């Protein structure tokens, strides 16, 4: 595939791996967090960390939208799905995330009409095809997916689709990053910035990481060569004592972001004062709801939802995994009580989740590639 | 071993112990995952069905039961077909109903002899649609050289079936050249696939119209007996095992074989044949082609000294399309029961079975 294969070139990967070995300061152990689940997935899919020296460690961050959904919100989604006449639509991964009483997949088996969609526009299409049913879209994701939800709501409004609404669980990337950086147990040296999110918000919003916390950030693409090059750029910054936002993913990410997408989001969404994150607790101004102008399309207003906070299971250490404090396999229940077949924590559900990625792709003694 | 490495090794040990246990069926209800061919299906079969029936022929989990009947070695198998839509590029439910059962016989080293056919039709099904499937069944049976010798027809009320379901049972004569066993794999054996993987499942996903992707991907539905016949002839005693890679794809087959033989496997990702359109669609959807269903692809494990001849024979088969058959990897000693992939990028990853349906990633 043109424009992709170049970024999966094994020979180039080895050259970069050699440069990484040369760039890391002897005797120093460097911990770099890839914020985004897409990066985690790629790292395991291609075996990127087999090419890294032992003293460069990648830590998987909180950027998987499925992983950060708290149980109470899953319960709310299931409650909406159980309303008479409702068709609840959601992305595939979301159907296996456990709430306190089960998953959407189990609710479907018990009679609720839950359907998997690939985009919010598919949900709108279902609404138009079923005018006598109420169709709800269970919206999740960071700024990557929020614009498509916003566009869909604008279209629903323009086409006067009265039986469509949105259960909004969109979140924003900056507040959890700030919460992570404020965490006293954090031991990170730099960040691989979330490429998909930055196509929308740009690289500028990440500048606070350098300004306030003196950590380097490199916004990265998702191919293995992108990730290795980003690691190399971070190591150069560390070596030179710099902490800047650099953009490795210039072919896609404009530094200032996508103005049109941001405008549409500002019109359709408003910040919630607080939003709960799985494992991280409540974070101020980190979640989106529908703006007053779109309140009539808000499923939380149309339907009764329990809206109850459900504490994370005691055994689950998702929060520490998401903060990079422990590795997935250091969690008390990893691989024993919590497996992809029966996940306790959300990190074990999505293939982008740190635990599932580790369990599915990485659970064997690694043989490091000799560069 | 450092503290971290020791801790990691201990946890990895726990996971492998978990994984080695016979799966338990603990779900409260059947979900779609139980039919997807991955781990949930395994739990249903091994956790509920096998213990209940206590049949040695069933316990080996082969594609067909092998029976000694009055001195003849026969293979018997059955399958149900519920695909939506019933017609798709490259085939239809009728082709599948014949080829799927014929292939289960072929993978047991049995030359297909006869099929039974059970049709479950939904009230309101239009006659031209039924006629087209009957023709597809007749054509596929003729191509595979099997006779349809018995049948049954039921009609259910509208809404109780999705147009039509087909069940076929197949009887085959186990070839005297065959000495196949799912537990026979040994370190050093080569792993062959008979052609490009992932086409059938991707064709079905696109035919459902759930993705707005503009690609022509054609199902690979075909009889695998000619390929099995060629392997029996040219790999002789070196042919350890055959499997058709249907639900759960090549990944599920390799995992099942690794577990039942107590060996490991190392697959070279770059050697796995995948059509560019299938690779592109899988890439967009975040799905691994090795997890996608096939209806005309087999996996063969062959002793190393026979592997070259086996591959050449497979590529030479005239009926069907096996020219792109490939040697994709080898059987190893450890880590026991696991399948590893050497990525084109030079790293390694574990290739596991699917948990449920392949669900596209969201971003």
Query: What are the pLDDT digits (tens) for A251-303?
Result: 999 999 999 999 999 999 999 999 999 888 899 999 999 999 999 999 999 99
Residue B296, min C-alpha distance to chain A (Å): 25
Out of A335-349, B137-151, B169-183, least confident range: A335-349
Q: What is the pLDDT of residues A25-42, one digit of tens each?
A: 888 999 999 999 889 888
Residue B363 binned pLDDT confidence (cut-offs 50, 70, 90):
very low
Close Cβ partners of A274 (under 8 Å, ≥ 6 residues apart): A282, A283, A284, A285, A286, A287
Q: How far apart are CA B150 and CA A256, in angstroms?
A: 70
Whether this model's ipTM surpasses 0.90 comes out as no
Say if CB A226 and CB A198 are below 8 A apart: no
The span from the first CA to the last CA of chain B, in angstroms, equals: 38
Query: What residues of A are in contact with residue B11 (Cβ under 8 Å)?
Result: 329-330, 334-335
Look over chain B and give the mean of its residue pLDDT values, rounded to a whole number: 89
- Give the residue from B208, B334, B349, B352 with the most A CB atoms within 10 Å of its CB, the best one to mutate: B349
| CB atoms A47 and B344 under 8 Å | no
Q: What is the pLDDT of residues A331-352, one digit of tens each?
A: 888 888 888 777 888 788 776 6
Residue B19 binned pLDDT confidence (cut-offs 50, 70, 90):
low
Q: What percent of chain B has pLDDT over 70?
A: 92
Q: What is the pLDDT of residues B296-314, one digit of tens each?
A: 999 999 999 999 999 999 9
Residue of A nearest to B338 (CA): A364
Out of A105-119, B138-152, B278-292, least confident range: B278-292
Is residue B230 scored above 50 in pLDDT? Answer: yes
Say if CB B242 and CB B286 are below 8 A apart: no
Q: Write down the pLDDT at residue A7.
A: 85
Q: Write down the pLDDT at residue B362.
A: 44
Is residue B257 scored above 60 in pLDDT? Answer: yes
Strands (E), B157-272: 164-174, 190-193, 239-244, 264-268
Query: What residues of A are in contact with residue B15 (Cβ under 8 Å)?
Result: 335-336, 339, 359, 363
Q: What percent of chain A has pLDDT over 70?
A: 95
Q: Exposure pattern of A291-317 as b/e (b: 16+ CB <10 Å)?
A: beebeebbbbebbebeeeebebbeebb
Q: Exposure pattern of B199-222 as b/e (b: 16+ CB <10 Å)?
A: bbbbbbbbbeebbebebebbbbbb
| CB atoms A364 and B338 under 8 Å | yes
Q: Write down the pLDDT at residue A64.
A: 82
Query: What residues of A are in contact with residue B211 (Cβ under 8 Å)?
Result: 118
User: Helix or strand or coil: residue A191?
Assistant: strand
- Give the residue from B30, B47, B345, B350 with the most A CB atoms within 10 Å of its CB, the best one to mutate: B345
Say if CB B356 and CB B281 are below 8 A apart: no
More confident residue, B97 or B23: B97
* Residue indicated by tokens 């950086």: A181
| CB atoms B283 and A4 under 8 Å | yes
Say if CB B322 and CB B251 are below 8 A apart: no
Close Cβ partners of B348 (under 8 Å, ≥ 6 residues apart): A47, A50, A366, A367, B340, B341, B342
| CB atoms B345 and A110 under 8 Å | no
Out of B8-12, B43-47, B224-228, least confident range: B8-12
Structure tokens at A303: 């339907």
| CB atoms A48 and B32 under 8 Å | no
Look over chain A and give the mean of its residue pLDDT values, rounded to a whole number: 90
Q: What is the pLDDT of residues B203-219, one digit of tens each?
A: 988 888 777 677 789 99
Out of A203-212, A342-351, B219-228, least confident range: A342-351
More confident residue, A313 or B330: B330
Q: What is the pLDDT of residues A139-185, one digit of tens each?
A: 999 999 999 999 999 999 999 999 999 999 999 999 999 988 998 87
Q: Write down the pLDDT at residue A163.
A: 97
Q: How far apart are CA B236 and CA B231, in angstroms?
A: 7
| CB atoms B210 and A122 under 8 Å | yes
| CB atoms B357 and A352 under 8 Å | no
pTM for this prediction: 0.86
**A365 close to B (CB below 8 A):** yes
Is residue A363 scored above 60 in pLDDT? Answer: no
Residue A366 binned pLDDT confidence (cut-offs 50, 70, 90):
low
Q: What percent of chain B has pLDDT over 90?
A: 66
- DSSP at B194: S
More confident residue, A340 or A306: A306
Q: What is the pLDDT of residues B119-128, one digit of tens each?
A: 999 999 999 9
Q: Write down the pLDDT at residue B153.
A: 97
């Amino acid at each position: 595939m043109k424009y992709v294969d170049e970024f999966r070139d094994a020979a180039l990967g080895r050259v970069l791996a050699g440069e990484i070995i040369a760039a890391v300061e002897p005797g120093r152990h460097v911990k770099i967090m890839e914020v985004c689940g897409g990066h985690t997935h790629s790292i395991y899919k291609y075996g990127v960390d087999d090419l890294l020296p032992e003293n460069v460690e990648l830590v998987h961050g909180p950027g998987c939208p499925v992983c950060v959904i708290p149980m109470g919100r899953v319960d709310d989604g299931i409650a909406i799905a159980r309303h008479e006449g409702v068709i609840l639509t959601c992305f595939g991964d979301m159907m296996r995330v456990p709430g306190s009483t089960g998953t959407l997949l189990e609710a479907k088996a018990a009679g609720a009409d839950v359907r998997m969609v690939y985009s919010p526009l598919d949900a709108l299409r279902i609404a138009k095809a079923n005018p006598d049913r109420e169709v709800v879209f269970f919206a999740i994701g960071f700024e990557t997916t929020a614009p498509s939800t916003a566009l869909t709501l604008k279209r629903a409004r323009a086409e006067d689709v009265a039986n469509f609404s949105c259960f909004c669980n969109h979140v924003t990337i900056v507040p959890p990053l700030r919460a992570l950086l404020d965490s006293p147990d954090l031991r990170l040296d730099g960040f691989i910035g979330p490429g998909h999110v930055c196509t929308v918000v740009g690289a500028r919003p990440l500048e606070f990481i350098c300004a306030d916390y003196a950590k380097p950030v490199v916004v990265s693409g998702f191919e293995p060569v992108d990730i290795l090059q980003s690691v190399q750029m971070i190591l150069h910054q560390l070596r030179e004592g710099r902490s800047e936002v650099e953009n490795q993913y210039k072919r896609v990410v404009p530094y200032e972001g996508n103005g049109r997408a941001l405008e549409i989001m500002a019109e359709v969404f408003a910040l919630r004062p607080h939003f709960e994150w799985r494992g991280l607790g409540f974070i101020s101004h980190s979640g989106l709801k529908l703006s007053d102008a779109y309140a009539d399309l808000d499923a939380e207003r149309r339907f009764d939802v329990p809206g109850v906070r459900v504490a994370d299971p005691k055994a689950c250490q998702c929060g520490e995994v998401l903060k990079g404090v422990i590795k997935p396999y250091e969690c008390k229940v990893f691989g024993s009580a919590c497996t992809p077949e029966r996940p306790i924590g959300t990190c074990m559900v999505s293939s982008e989740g740190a635990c599932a990625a580790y369990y599915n792709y990485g659970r064997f003694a690694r043989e490091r590639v000799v560069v | 071993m450092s503290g971290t490495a020791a801790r990691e090794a201990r946890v990895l040990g726990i996971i492998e112990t978990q994984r080695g246990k016979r799966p338990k069926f603990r779900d409260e209800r059947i979900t779609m995952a139980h039919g997807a061919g991955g781990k949930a299906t395994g739990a249903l079969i091994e956790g509920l069905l096998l213990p209940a029936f206590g049949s040695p022929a069933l316990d080996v989990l082969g594609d067909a039961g092998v029976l000694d009947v009055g001195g003849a070695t026969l293979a018997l198998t059955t399958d149900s077909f519920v695909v939506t839509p019933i017609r798709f590029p490259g085939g239809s439910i009728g082709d599948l109903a014949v080829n799927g059962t014929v292939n289960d016989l072929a993978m047991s080293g049995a030359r297909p002899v006869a099929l039974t056919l059970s049709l479950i039709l939904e009230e309101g099904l239009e006659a031209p649609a039924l006629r087209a499937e009957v023709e597809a069944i007749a054509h596929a049976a003729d191509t595979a050289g099997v006779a349809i010798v018995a049948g049954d027809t039921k009609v259910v009320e509208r809404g109780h079936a999705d147009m039509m379901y087909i069940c076929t049972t197949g009887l085959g004569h186990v070839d005297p050249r065959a000495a196949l066993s799912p537990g026979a794999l040994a370190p050093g054996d080569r792993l062959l696939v008979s052609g490009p993987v992932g086409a059938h499942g991707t064709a079905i996903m696109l035919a459902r119209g759930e993705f707005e992707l503009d690609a022509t991907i054609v199902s690979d539905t075909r009889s695998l007996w000619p390929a099995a016949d060629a392997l029996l002839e040219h790999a002789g005693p070196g042919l350890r095992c055959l499997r058709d890679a249907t639900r759960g794809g090549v990944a599920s087959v390799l995992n099942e074989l690794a577990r039942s033989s107590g060996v490991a496997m190392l697959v070279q990702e770059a050697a796995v044949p995948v059509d560019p359109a299938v690779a592109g669609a899988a890439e967009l959807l975040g799905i691994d082609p090795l997890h996608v269903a096939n209806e005309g692809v087999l996996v063969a494990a062959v002793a190393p000294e026979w592997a070259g001849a086996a591959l050449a024979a497979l590529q030479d088969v005239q009926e069907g399309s096996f020219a792109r058959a490939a040697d994709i990897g080898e059987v190893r000693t450890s880590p026991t029961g696991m399948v590893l992939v050497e990525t084109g990028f030079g790293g390694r990853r574990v290739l596991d079975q699917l948990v449920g349906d392949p669900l596209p990633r969201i971003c």
